[in-house]
């Protein structure tokens, strides 16, 4: 008689389309590295099936997972509770089972701030963010929570940009300015941290140019790109050539995964293992 257990703990990403999301590889490399008998599944789920998928997660005892486009907002109504940041943003990218409850979390912004802290502390700094979509929302809220002194949101669609600026200013009580993005943007000289949180330059549109006046970049600035694929965008290359410190989107992707991993398993994963997994994926 064997008493060996063949049961595994399951987490999964729900999205559509989702096949090219590399999180499964990153997480399973880390599970293996830490000797955890966990699996991470990549599941294509249509918006109409989201409620059933979440009920299925509950019924089958999944330990949680991630949700990505187009479910980050729609998933809220299917969860039992939200973290403070997820409630503030109205979006969830990580689901964590706590007892019988499924709790919505958001780890993108926290991942960005952790990654930023490897090159500079955000407290008291002045930041400019390009974009007002999901990534920009998450980054803005977490920067404000981390003590950034001033924020400027620059976005092509004024309504979206103004809404984000109002949210951060009203809820987190820091000075936030919105600027409509027209032509090449002149970065104000007092800027400490500049972030591209748009999808300009994301694979396969790798030659798409971020409309910015490169002459206004100063070597004292930290220039970041949220885009993980390719890790080295033309925007970052130009900034580096001008002497700026740069930060790629791979660090953010790894760090948001580190936070989720810890929430699910209680184990602090080795970020180097996850980073190496993603580098391997994006190099192939
Ligand atoms: P959204 O679709 O929610 O937002 C896209 C943003 O990009 C909007 O602000 C949009 O402006 C802007 N934008 C897109 N194309 C252009 C253009 N040609 N000119 C000006 N603005 C443009 O996407 P997300 O916020 O979810 O993702 C944004 C980026 O962040 C992606 O590249 C994604 O890969 C990355 N990301 C990285 C993560 C990481 O861990 N590294 C995590 C999550 C996202 P408008 O409002 O005018 O449409």
Least confident of 123-132, 133-142, 261-270: 133-142
Q: For residues 228-256, give the mean pLDDT.
A: 96
Q: Identify the pLDDT of residue 3.
A: 85
Which ligand 1 atom is at minimum distance from the Cα of 130?
9
Q: Are 114 and 258 in contact (CB under 8 A)?
A: yes
Q: Are 49 and 76 in contact (CB under 8 A)?
A: no
3-state secondary structure 170-222: HHHCCCEEEEECCCCECCCCCCCEEEECCCCCCCCCCCCCCCECHHHCCCCCE
pLDDT: which is higher, 23 or 134: 23
Mutate which of 198, 201, 226, 235 for ligand 1? The one with the most ligand atoms within 8 Å of its CB, which is 198
Q: For residues 145-156, give the mean pLDDT.
A: 97
Cα 221 to Cα 191: distance, rounded to the nearest angstrom: 7
Which ligand 1 atom is at minimum distance from the Cα of 161?
46
Cα 179 to Cα 173: distance, rounded to the nearest angstrom: 18
Mutate which of 13, 21, 142, 156 for ligand 1? The one with the most ligand atoms within 8 Å of its CB, which is 156
Collapsing DSSP to helix, strand or coil, 152 comes out as strand
Q: For residues 163-176, give the mean pLDDT.
A: 94
Q: For residues 54-64, give the mean pLDDT.
A: 98
Q: Is pLDDT at 124 greater than 90 in this prediction?
A: yes
Cα angle, residue 222 at apex, residues 197 and 244 outer, rounded to 5°: 115
Q: Identify the pLDDT of residue 2.
A: 80
Q: What percent of the chain has pLDDT over 90?
A: 92
Q: How confident is the model at residue 221 (pLDDT cuts 50, 70, 90)?
A: very high
Q: Which residues are catalytic?
A: 72
pLDDT tens-digit series, residues 179-204: 999 999 999 999 999 999 999 998 88
CA-proximal residue: ligand 1, atom 21 (nearest)? 156
Q: What percent of the chain has pLDDT over 70?
A: 100
Q: Identify the pLDDT of residue 283.
A: 85
* 204 C-alpha to ligand 1 centroid (Å): 14
Which ligand 1 atom is at minimum distance from the Cα of 201?
32
Cα 228 to Cα 233: distance, rounded to the nearest angstrom: 9
* 128 C-alpha to ligand 1 centroid (Å): 15
Q: Is pLDDT at 284 greater than 80 in this prediction?
A: no
pLDDT tens-digit series, residues 104-123: 999 999 999 999 999 999 99
Q: Identify the pLDDT of residue 100.
A: 94
* 205 C-alpha to ligand 1 centroid (Å): 13
Which ligand 1 atom is at minimum distance from the Cα of 136?
25
Q: For residues 135-163, give the mean pLDDT.
A: 96
CA-proximal residue: ligand 1, atom 7 (nearest)? 198
Q: Is pLDDT at 77 greater than 80 in this prediction?
A: yes
* Six token digits for residue 257: 């995964």
Ligand 1: which residues within 6 Å by Cβ?
Answer: 108, 111, 131-136, 155-157, 160, 197-200, 202, 226-228, 249, 252-253, 256
Q: Identify the pLDDT of residue 280.
A: 94
CA-proximal residue: ligand 1, atom 2 (nearest)? 133
Q: How confident is the model at residue 62 (pLDDT cuts 50, 70, 90)?
A: very high
Cα 69 to Cα 29: distance, rounded to the nearest angstrom: 24
Q: Is pLDDT at 241 greater than 90 in this prediction?
A: yes
């Amino acid at each position: 008689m064997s008493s060996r257990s063949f049961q595994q703990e399951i987490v999964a990403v729900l999205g559509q389309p989702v096949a090219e999301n590399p999180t499964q590889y990153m997480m399973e490399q880390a599970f293996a590295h830490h000797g955890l008998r966990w699996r991470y599944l990549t599941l294509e789920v249509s918006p109409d099936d989201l409620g059933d998928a979440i009920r299925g997660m509950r019924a089958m005892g999944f330990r949680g997972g991630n949700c990505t486009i187009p479910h980050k907002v729609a998933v809220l109504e299917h969860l039992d509770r939200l973290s403070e940041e997820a409630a503030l943003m109205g979006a969830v990218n990580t689901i964590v089972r706590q007892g019988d409850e499924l709790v919505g979390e958001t780890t993108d912004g926290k991942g960005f701030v952790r990654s930023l802290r490897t090159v500079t502390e955000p407290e008291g700094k002045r930041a400019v963010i390009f974009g007002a979509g999901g990534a920009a929302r998450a980054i803005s809220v977490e920067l404000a929570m981390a003590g950034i002194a001033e924020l400027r949101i620059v976005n092509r669609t004024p309504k979206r940009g103004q809404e984000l600026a109002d949210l951060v200013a009203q809820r987190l009580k820091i000075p936030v300015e919105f600027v409509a993005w027209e032509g090449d943007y002149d970065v104000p000289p007092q800027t400490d941290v500049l972030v591209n949180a748009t999808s300009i330059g994301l694979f396969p549109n790798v030659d798409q140019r971020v409309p910015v006046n490169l002459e206004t970049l100063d070597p004292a600035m930290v220039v970041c790109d949220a885009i993980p694929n390719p890790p080295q965008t033309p925007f970052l290359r130009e900034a580096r050539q001008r002497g700026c410190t740069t930060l790629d989107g791979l660090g953010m992707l790894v760090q948001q995964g580190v936070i989720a991993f810890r929430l699910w398993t209680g184990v602090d994963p080795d970020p180097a293992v996850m980073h190496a997994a993603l580098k391997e994926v994006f190099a192939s």
